[in-house]
Amino acid sequence: MKKTSILILLFIVFSTCSNHVDPKDPDIVIPEGVKESLAFEYLIHDVEGIVFNMLHYLHERDRGEARTHVTFNIFSGRGACASQNLDTDLNQLILDFSSGCSDNSDRVRKGVIDISYTDPENGIGNVMEIVLTDFALNNLVFNGEIRIENVSNINSDDQKDYMISFSNLALTINLESSIFTGVRTVHYEKADGSVFETTEVEYFAENNIDFLLSNGSSFNLTTPTATKQGFGCWLDGFYLPSFGIQRLSNSGELTTIDYNTGGCDLSVSLQTNNENPGIFVLSEIL
């Protein structure tokens, strides 16, 4: 009787374990293209935040005036450790992170971001041409050009719409490079904003992107449900969405990247055509 009870107990334990997915299990194969998709989302948002931060008050700096606004800049601190070279005649701002510097997010950034703009007040129609030269955030590196256009319907400091396009933008992860081409749209709006304690922000993004891995595999990344990021997460240095879904397709294979964690972390759940490989944690490649 005792032997039978032990066998039943072992059966229950093994049955339970077989249904549990351990995201750190080395036998779990993360679908190809997922880490590049997540790394791209993480890094492109960091570049956006840095550029939007430097555009804040740019019209005052362009005229040599002091900062007089009292509204809180939601991107404050992004990239602030870089040396800045502003040429108001050429409408050009160069941010040089050199061999590495750390700002208030405690992330190490390197390289150069060269920003050319058409309107120092960042009004509707402002076009920014961004050249990235070995811009790195920890182990993720960007090289190439990004075009950002202010496509807002109204001129407002509290809400903005941007169209972001790029071609042959190289993302390197641990010496492996992938090439990204496509379009990304961003909408954000804030409430209050006089100080960061009372600021509320909704930051939505959608992607329609094609990318090519170094091994020749090609992918398309789309956003059936707009991703949403939280201001509270930014303050802790987390730049992945907390809500929304992306779909990664490759030759009939479809992987759904689900950001609906509702919290500030670097993990997402994945669902493929035939199975659920579990959870991928971006910190594994940072």
pLDDT at 33: 93
Residue 223 lies in a domain: no
Residue 24 pLDDT greater than 70, yes or no: no
Kindly compute the dihedral angle of the four CA atoms of residues 70, 74, 76, 78, in this order, to the nearest 10 degrees: -170
Residue 37 lies in a domain: yes
Give the closest residue to 195 by CA, choosing from 72, 74, 77, 73.
Answer: 72
How many CB atoms lie under 10 A from the CB of residue 96? 15
User: For the ranges 153-157, 251-255, 263-267, which has the lowest average pLDDT?
Assistant: 263-267
d(CA 79, CA 208): 26
Structural domain containing residue 65: 27-214
pLDDT (average), residues 252-277: 80
Residue 178 lies in a domain: yes
How many CB atoms lie under 10 A from the CB of residue 59? 14
Residue 246 lies in a domain: no
Counted domains in the chain = 1
- pLDDT-based confidence at residue 52 (cuts at 50, 70, 90): very high
Q: Are 3 and 253 in contact (CB under 8 A)?
A: no
| pLDDT, tens only, 53-105 | 998 878 667 665 555 555 678 888 888 899 999 999 999 999 999 989 887 66
pLDDT at 198: 78
Residue 77 lies in a domain: yes
pLDDT at 68: 53
Kindly compute the dihedral angle of the four CA atoms of residues 117, 85, 67, 161, in this order, to the nearest 10 degrees: 30
Residue 79 lies in a domain: yes
User: For the ranges 107-116, 127-136, 226-235, which has the lowest average pLDDT?
Assistant: 226-235
| pLDDT, tens only, 203-235 | 999 999 999 999 999 999 999 999 999 888 887
Residue 17 pLDDT greater than 50, yes or no: no
What is the model's pTM? 0.85
Residue 16 pLDDT greater than 80, yes or no: no
pLDDT at 284: 72
Residue 200 lies in a domain: yes
pLDDT at 18: 31
Phi, psi of 76 (to 5 degrees): -55, 130
First to last CA, the chain: 53
Residue 267 lies in a domain: no
d(CA 252, CA 244): 22
Q: Kindly state the percentage of the chain with pLDDT values over 70.
A: 83
The secondary structure of residue 172, as a DSSP letter, is: E
